[in-house]
Amino acid sequence: MSTDTEGLALDDTVVTGMGVVAPTGLGRDEHWTNTLRGASAIGPVTRFEAGRYPSRLAGEVPGFDPAAHLTSRLLPQTDHMTRMALVASDWALTDAEADPAQLPEYGMGVVTAVSAGGFEFGHRELQNLWGKGPEHVSAYQSFAWFYAVNTGQISIRHGLRGPGAALVTEQAGGLDALGQARRQLRRGQPMVLAGAVDGSPCPWGWAAQLSTGRMSEEPDPVRAYLPFDAEAGGYVPGEGGALFVLETEEAARARGARRRYGRMAGYAATFDPPQGSGRPANLERAARAALDDARLGPEEIDVVFADAAGTSEEDAIEAEALRGLFGPHGVPVTAPKTMTGRLSAGGSALDVATALLALREGIVPPTINVSRPRPEHTLDLVTAPRRIPLATALVLARGQGGFNSALVLTGPC
Amino acid sequence: MDQLTTDRLMEIMRICAGEVDPVVTTADPEDIDFADLGYDSLALLETAGRLEREFGVAIGEGELADARTPADLTALINRLLAKTA
Amino acid sequence: MKSPNNRRVVITGIGIVAPGAIGVKPFWDLLVAGRTATRTISTFDPAPFRSRIAAECDFDPSAEGLTPREIRRMDRAAQFAVVAAREGIEDSGIDRETLDGSRVGVVIGSAVGCTTSLENEYAVVSDSGSRWLVDHTYGVPHLFDYFVPSSIAAEVAHDRIAAEGPVSLVSTGCTSGLDAVGRAADLIAEGAADVMVAGATEAPISPITVACFDAIKATSPDNDRPAEASRPFDRTRRGFVLGEGAAVFVLEEHDAARRRGAEVYAEISGFATRCNAFHMTGLRTDGREMAEAIRVALADARTEPSAIDYVNAHGSGTRQNDRHETAAFKRSLGEHARRTPVSSIKSMIGHSLGAVGSLEIAACALAIRHDVVPPTANLREPDPECDLDYVPLEARPWPVANVLTVGSGFGGFQSAMVLSEPDARGRSAA
């Protein structure tokens, strides 16, 4: 295994580009600046009239004008989520200075994760069907709602003809997409575009989320989403996410790629036993397996980006997993998603973007609004930006129903 | 019901499938193939659905496939309208 | 570099919920008899729709062993998956007591997830489409499970097999059933799991799905003769007939399966998928990307085209598909394409979107076991542009050691899988 001066092996999976569309900002730099400032993007829902619902806050992407980025041909056939994903894919490729046309014919694949598909589009077509009749259903409905839509549209937009995949594991999906992308690289693909941009900001999607009983009903944006806090009372949903250009170090070097955000050093996924089984949750085991995969010990992890479910029960499970791995107060833990809310599959992808930027800049971004962390969690929760040497990060994500995923990143040098 | 004009058709197509692609030609836009205007089969199906609802006509599958230009499609709709009148 | 560990993966159990056949044996009997299970839609009034036919499952969840609670909680697609998984696990003879749950995973494929329940619930909370601001107080408590279809994989994982390894739902349109099994096989090959319960399910026969295919005229309007409506490769074909169902497999690492004396149906010897980057619903006529997926799957299986004994086609019965894949077979298999029987079981069980790829894998595994090629039903007037041997009307006794099965899906997905008789990889039976 040959290595270069940066210490990367040729078969390492490296991240060479990212595209961020997040409540905290359009584009990587705006997102990072706002995240470091601890600027909350949680506010009243604007995409529909939410006054009648018990939860009325969301992390919406501000100022996203699809017509500014996409041709008019795409607009009638795409959901809001897909439009954001297409823009994120443009930015990721530009950021990586990657031109798919320069690659071998089937050289670049696409993997996205999604949770509910193009739900706002689907909601409109359901209304057309049930309110007016079958002849009112759009010719685009057959794909604009379905879960594979982002992968298909991204592939078409950029001419990516390698393997395509779309995964659904709720919030864990953003990490699972990267795990699948690495599998494709190991099977010989030079490059994969992967990640998740998600969100279903329509009343029908809202009703579905309300059914969990886990959405916060607190009207004050500052107090609505408080993971690990004594007053944790549920989550606030959001929209957006991040897409990445992943390639083998060999491929990156061959095309003269200038930037490495970092290396995807380890990944693993586990599943929880059913509630009431008496068996323990498996988040800790996912994290251990990802560390093993990265050949790193817990003591070598510099920061953890937590899943931060925001309910006292689930927060306790994550805190226990972190204590099991690192000991009490054993590692800095942060949850920048306190600024954005939980973005479904996009949330864990955005955490990967934030973690890579943290590694590059040597600053842990803060968890905001959490003023009374539960002492029994024994977490070293980072509530103000913390400048420390950062070489490695662990990102955790849990999808509703029992999905656990963990991803280990190492920094650019 | 009023007859369909090509201007109205192009307006409907803009709503259903976006603006036409820029075309370098001296031909009258209404005589340019849909494919050259950038409208694919989906764009035409979405447009046809809209026309059927708006004008209360039923477009046969073969008829839609035979309409290759905006002028063809406009004439088709007006023929169907005359039949139902 | 291929899978780093090169562990081999075999199918040791199959479970089926199919139109006209609940269970593996009835399914194979139906295919060999060339019987069609397409009929007029019975689950809702199809009168307002262009296509009013489908291949429906006569599925009684309580007769299949689901409890009233499970029936209330699970969408029909999840019910299919759980029932098929139970049969597959039973069929594999695997001893669940001795399994280490952390080494067991689940991958389920589905194109449209819990769409039937979502639509039913939508009708309730929107007062039949009369309000945009739906009334959430009328929603069922488990609405979220319909909203995010990974719940289907979770149901299977929590059921008999008690999986605590990697669990996921794959949703790549109409290649989901191939891609889910391909992903599961990869997870075993690379060592992330030892046993995977994998397959696919779909229960799409609901007004919104029927309407969305009506709008693009993809489904057959042959409402007057539902039994003959699905006519892949026939000159008179008019589109696909929507179907439903599930096939779920137990996949194991080859050596471990052998050690425990499992009966092996087939080895999953090669898999690949490619995007066409062309169109969300359209196909390039030359079959280029499907041919590439086939080429890579064969290379993965270290199998020459000439060793393929049977090709299980996507064969949806749309004009563009049947020509597209005929071109792809010629492009990838060369002259051998003309010597190899090719058939489409969609002629009998319809097109169950994400599930059908797994149902087709099951048909391939059974073709290997029985040395019989299932027919293409309803193929009476061959399309001159589809000029291969499509095994019309009657099943054919035929030595089958290596099978190629393919799928093509909205979004541009093209997938191919090679299945081989146990320990006969790469050698034709002929």
Task: Looking at the structure, tell me whether residues C412 and C284 fall in a common domain.
Answer: yes
Task: Looking at the structure, tell me whether residues A40 and A183 fall in a common domain.
Answer: yes
Interface of C with A in 35-74 (CB under 8 A): 48-50
Task: Looking at the structure, tell me whether residues A18 and A80 fall in a common domain.
Answer: yes
Q: Do C413 and A402 touch (CB under 8 A)?
A: no
The pLDDT, as a whole number, for residue C427 is 77
Task: Looking at the structure, tell me whether residues A342 and A242 fall in a common domain.
Answer: no
Task: Looking at the structure, tell me whether residues C287 and C218 fall in a common domain.
Answer: no
Q: How far is CA A308 from CA A64, A198, C231, in A?
A: 26, 18, 53
Q: Around Cβ C89, how many Cβ atoms within 10 Å?
A: 23
Cα dihedral C144→C145→C146→C148 (10° resolution): 80
Q: Tell me the C-alpha distance between A255 and C333, whole Å.
A: 33
Q: Tell me the C-alpha distance between C99 and B42, whole Å.
A: 50
Domain containing C416: what range? 269-420
**Quick check: is C174 catalytic?**
yes
Q: Tell me the C-alpha distance between C171 and A146, whole Å.
A: 8
Max alpha carbon distance in chain B (Å)? 39
Residue A259, in any domain of the structure: no
Using DSSP, state whether C129 is helix, strand or coil. Answer: coil
C208: β partners: none
Residue A139, in any domain of the structure: yes
Cα dihedral A219→A222→A226→A232 (10° resolution): -40
Q: To probe the interface with B, which of A140, A141, A156 has the most B CB atoms within 10 Å?
A: A140
Instruction: List the CATH number of the domain containing C142.
Output: 3.40.47.10
Task: Looking at the structure, tell me whether residues A118 and A42 fall in a common domain.
Answer: yes
Residue A68, in any domain of the structure: yes
- Span A269-317, pLDDT tens digits: 999 999 889 999 999 999 999 999 999 999 999 999 999 999 999 999 9
Domain boundary among the residues A222, A254, A286 is at A254
Q: To probe the interface with C, which of A130, A267, A293 has the most C CB atoms within 10 Å?
A: A130
Identity of the residue in A176, A268, A273 whose CB atom sits nearest the CB atom of C168 = A176
Identity of the residue in A135, A136, A139 whose CB atom sits nearest the CB atom of B42 = A139
Q: Which residues of B touch C217 (CB under 8 A)?
A: 45, 61
Which residues make Cβ contacts (< 8 Å) with residue A201, sequence separation at least 6?
A45, A47, A48, A58, A60, A80, A120, A237, A239
Identity of the residue in A72, A75, A140 whose CB atom sits nearest the CB atom of B42 = A140
- pLDDT confidence of C2, banded at 50, 70, 90? very low
DSSP, residue by residue, C147-196: HSTHHHHHHHHHTTT---S-EEEE--GGGHHHHHHHHHHHHHHTTS-SEE
CA distance A231 to chain C (A): 24
Cα dihedral A165→A171→A175→A180 (10° resolution): -20
Cα dihedral A409→C151→C138→A203 (10° resolution): 40
Residue B19, in any domain of the structure: yes
Give mean pLDDT, residues A324-350.
98
Q: How many CB pairs under 8 A join B and C?
A: 15
DSSP at C36: -
Q: Tell me the C-alpha distance between C309 and C403, whole Å.
A: 6
Using DSSP bridges, classify how beta strands C104-109 and C195-202 pair: parallel, antiparallel or unpaired.
parallel
DSSP at C313: -
The pLDDT, as a whole number, for residue C5 is 58
CA distance C263 to chain A (A): 28
Q: Which residues of A touch B46 (CB under 8 A)?
A: 76-77, 138-140
Q: Which residues of B touch C49 (CB under 8 A)?
A: none
Cβ atoms of C280 and C310 closer than 8 Å: no
The pLDDT, as a whole number, for residue A3 is 40
The pLDDT, as a whole number, for residue A413 is 58
CA distance C140 to chain A (A): 7
Q: Do A139 and B18 touch (CB under 8 A)?
A: no
Identity of the residue in A76, A136, A139 whose CB atom sits nearest the CB atom of B18 = A76
Task: Looking at the structure, tell me whether residues A220 and A302 fall in a common domain.
Answer: no
The pLDDT, as a whole number, for residue A4 is 45
Report the neighbours of C using a cutoff of 3 or more CB pairs below 8 angstroms.
A, B
Q: Do A161 and C277 touch (CB under 8 A)?
A: yes
Task: Looking at the structure, tell me whether residues C252 and C289 fall in a common domain.
Answer: no
The pLDDT, as a whole number, for residue B2 is 83
Q: What share of chain C is helix, strand, coil (3-state, %, to 5)?
A: 35, 20, 40
Q: Do C145 and A401 touch (CB under 8 A)?
A: yes
Which residues make Cβ contacts (< 8 Å) with residue C41, sequence separation at least 6?
C52, C53, C54, C56, C205, C210
Taking the Cβ of residue C279 and every Cβ of chain B, the question of whether any pair is shorter than 8 Å is answered with: yes
Q: Tell me the C-alpha distance between C140 and C118, whole Å.
A: 10
Residue C3, in any domain of the structure: no
Cβ atoms of A393 and A362 closer than 8 Å: no
Angle (CA) A395-A399-A400 rounded to 5° is 150
CA distance C238 to chain B (A): 11
Identity of the residue in A74, A135, A140 whose CB atom sits nearest the CB atom of B46 = A140
Angle (CA) A358-A347-C106 rounded to 5° is 120
Domain boundary among the residues C259, C292, C322 is at C259
- pLDDT confidence of C35, banded at 50, 70, 90? very high
Could you give the number of structural domains in chain B? Answer: 1
Taking the Cβ of residue C214 and every Cβ of chain A, the question of whether any pair is shorter than 8 Å is answered with: yes
Task: Write out the H or E segment, with its range, that includes residue C267.
Answer: strand C266-275
Which residues make Cβ contacts (< 8 Å) with residue C153, sequence separation at least 6?
A169, C106, C107, C108, C167, C168, C169
pLDDT by residue, tens only, chain B of 85 residues: 689 999 999 999 999 999 998 877 778 888 999 999 999 999 999 999 999 999 999 998 889 999 999 999 999 999 999 988 7
Domain boundary among the residues A197, A230, A254 is at A254
Q: To probe the interface with C, which of B34, B39, B42 has the most C CB atoms within 10 Å?
A: B42
Q: Tell me the C-alpha distance between B15 and B50, whole Å.
A: 10
Residue A206 has pLDDT above 70, yes or no: yes
- Span C86-129, pLDDT tens digits: 999 999 999 999 999 999 999 999 999 999 999 999 999 999 99
Considering the candidates C57, C174, C364, C386, report the single residue annotated as catalytic.
C174
C351: β partners: C242
Residue B1, in any domain of the structure: no
The pLDDT, as a whole number, for residue C117 is 98
The answer to which of A51-65, A66-80, A104-118, B57-71 has the lowest mean pLDDT is B57-71
- Span A338-362, pLDDT tens digits: 999 999 999 999 999 999 999 999 9
Nearest residue of C to residue B58 by CA position? C50
Q: Which residues of A touch B17 (CB under 8 A)?
A: 73, 76-77
Nearest residue of A to residue B39 by CA position? A73
Q: Do C126 and A127 touch (CB under 8 A)?
A: yes
Nearest residue of C to residue A149 by CA position? C411
Task: Looking at the structure, tell me whether residues A277 and A250 fall in a common domain.
Answer: no
Task: Looking at the structure, tell me whether residues A86 and A223 fall in a common domain.
Answer: yes
Residue C393, in any domain of the structure: yes
Task: Looking at the structure, tell me whether residues A249 and A341 fall in a common domain.
Answer: no
Instruction: List the CATH number of the domain containing A342.
Output: 3.40.47.10
Which residues make Cβ contacts (< 8 Å) with residue A170, sequence separation at least 6?
A115, A344, A345, A399, A400, A401, A403, C148, C150
Task: Looking at the structure, tell me whether residues C279 and C254 fall in a common domain.
Answer: no
Report the neighbours of B using a cutoff of 3 or more CB pairs below 8 angstroms.
A, C
- Span A86-101, pLDDT tens digits: 999 999 999 999 999 9
Using DSSP bridges, classify how beta strands A164-168 and C167-170 pair: parallel, antiparallel or unpaired.
antiparallel
Cβ atoms of C82 and C16 closer than 8 Å: no
pLDDT > 90 fraction of chain A, expressed in percent and rounded: 97
Residue A278, in any domain of the structure: yes
Task: Looking at the structure, tell me whether residues A151 and A220 fall in a common domain.
Answer: yes
Task: Looking at the structure, tell me whether residues C255 and C273 fall in a common domain.
Answer: no
- What's chain C's average pLDDT? 96
Q: Tell me the C-alpha distance between B6 and A101, whole Å.
A: 38
Q: Which residues of A touch B19 (CB under 8 A)?
A: 71-73
Which residues make Cβ contacts (< 8 Å) with residue C357, sequence separation at least 6?
C109, C174, C175, C176, C177, C178, C179, C180, C181, C200, C405, C407, C415
Task: Looking at the structure, tell me whether residues A248 and A302 fall in a common domain.
Answer: no
Using DSSP, state whether C91 is helix, strand or coil. Answer: helix
Using DSSP bridges, classify how beta strands C413-420 and C266-275 pair: parallel, antiparallel or unpaired.
antiparallel
Using DSSP bridges, classify how beta strands A332-334 and A380-381 pair: parallel, antiparallel or unpaired.
parallel
Considering the candidates C254, C324, C351, C364, report the single residue annotated as catalytic.
C351
Task: Looking at the structure, tell me whether residues C38 and C113 fall in a common domain.
Answer: yes
Contacts by residues C182-187 (CB-CB < 8 Å, ≥ 24 positions apart) = C182/C268, C182/C271, C182/C272, C182/C273, C182/C415, C182/C417, C183/A165, C183/A180, C183/C107, C184/C105, C184/C107, C184/C251, C185/C9, C185/C251, C185/C268, C185/C271, C186/A183, C186/A187, C186/C3, C186/C271, C187/C105, C187/C107
Give mean pLDDT, residues A149-168.
98
Token readout for C355 is 């599930």
Residue C175, in any domain of the structure: yes
Q: Tell me the C-alpha distance between C154 and C380, whole Å.
A: 44
- Span C283-322, pLDDT tens digits: 999 999 999 999 999 999 999 999 999 999 999 999 999 9
Residue C98, in any domain of the structure: yes
DSSP at A204: H
Residue A351, in any domain of the structure: yes
Q: Tell me the C-alpha distance between C78 and A71, whole Å.
A: 38
Considering the candidates C57, C114, C254, C314, report the single residue annotated as catalytic.
C314
Instruction: List the CATH number of the domain containing B68.
Output: 1.10.1200.10
Residue A277, in any domain of the structure: yes
- Span C360-408, pLDDT tens digits: 999 999 999 999 999 999 999 999 999 999 999 999 999 999 999 999 9
Domain containing B23: what range? 6-84
Residue C69, in any domain of the structure: yes
Q: To probe the interface with B, which of C238, C278, C281 has the most B CB atoms within 10 Å?
A: C281
Q: Which residues of A touch B37 (CB under 8 A)?
A: none
Q: Do A73 and B49 touch (CB under 8 A)?
A: no
Q: Tell me the C-alpha distance between C89 and C68, whole Å.
A: 22
Q: Which residues of C touch A186 (CB under 8 A)?
A: 1, 3-4, 190
Could you give the number of structural domains in chain A? Answer: 2
Cβ atoms of C301 and C418 closer than 8 Å: yes
Interface of B with C in 43-82 (CB under 8 A): 45-46, 49, 61
Nearest residue of A to residue B16 by CA position? A76
DSSP, residue by residue, B18-75: -SPPP---SS-GGGS-HHHHT--HHHHHHHHHHHHHHHT----HHHHHH--SHHHHHH
The pLDDT, as a whole number, for residue C52 is 98
Could you give the number of structural domains in chain C? Answer: 2
Give mean pLDDT, residues A213-238.
98
Domain containing A68: what range? 13-254
Give mean pLDDT, residues C30-36.
98
Domain boundary among the residues C259, C282, C316 is at C259
Residue C429, in any domain of the structure: no
Task: Looking at the structure, tell me whether residues A174 and A224 fall in a common domain.
Answer: yes
Taking the Cβ of residue A134 and every Cβ of chain C, the question of whether any pair is shorter than 8 Å is answered with: yes
**Quick check: is C254 catalytic?**
no
**Helices A28-37 + A345-361 axis angle, to 10:** 80
Which residue in C190, C167, C191 sits closest to C180, CA to CA? Answer: C167
One-letter amino acid identity for A218? Answer: E
Using DSSP bridges, classify how beta strands C242-243 and C53-55 pair: parallel, antiparallel or unpaired.
parallel
Cβ atoms of A56 and A50 closer than 8 Å: yes
Q: How far is CA C403 from CA A55, A343, C32, C49, C376, in A?
A: 53, 42, 17, 38, 16
Taking the Cβ of residue C280 and every Cβ of chain B, the question of whether any pair is shorter than 8 Å is answered with: yes
Residue B34, in any domain of the structure: yes
A166: β partners: A112
Task: Looking at the structure, tell me whether residues A317 and A401 fall in a common domain.
Answer: yes
Complex ipTM more than 0.95, yes or no: yes
Q: Which residues of B touch C216 (CB under 8 A)?
A: 42, 45
Q: Do C2 and A212 touch (CB under 8 A)?
A: no
Using DSSP, state whether C324 is helix, strand or coil. Answer: helix
Q: Roughly how many angstroms between the first and final C-alpha of chain C, as a whole number?
A: 31
One-letter amino acid identity for C98? Answer: T
Residue A4, in any domain of the structure: no
Q: Do C106 and A271 touch (CB under 8 A)?
A: yes
Q: To probe the interface with A, which of B37, B39, B46 has the most A CB atoms within 10 Å?
A: B46
Identity of the residue in C215, C279, C280 whose CB atom sits nearest the CB atom of B45 = C215
Residue A384 has pLDDT above 60, yes or no: yes
Residue C426, in any domain of the structure: no
Taking the Cβ of residue C186 and every Cβ of chain A, the question of whether any pair is shorter than 8 Å is answered with: yes
Q: How far is CA C162 from CA A44, A339, C153, C308, in A?
A: 41, 36, 12, 37
Nearest residue of B to residue C282 by CA position? B41
Which residues make Cβ contacts (< 8 Å) with residue C133, sequence separation at least 6?
A48, A49, A52, A203
Task: Looking at the structure, tell me whether residues C245 and C168 fall in a common domain.
Answer: yes
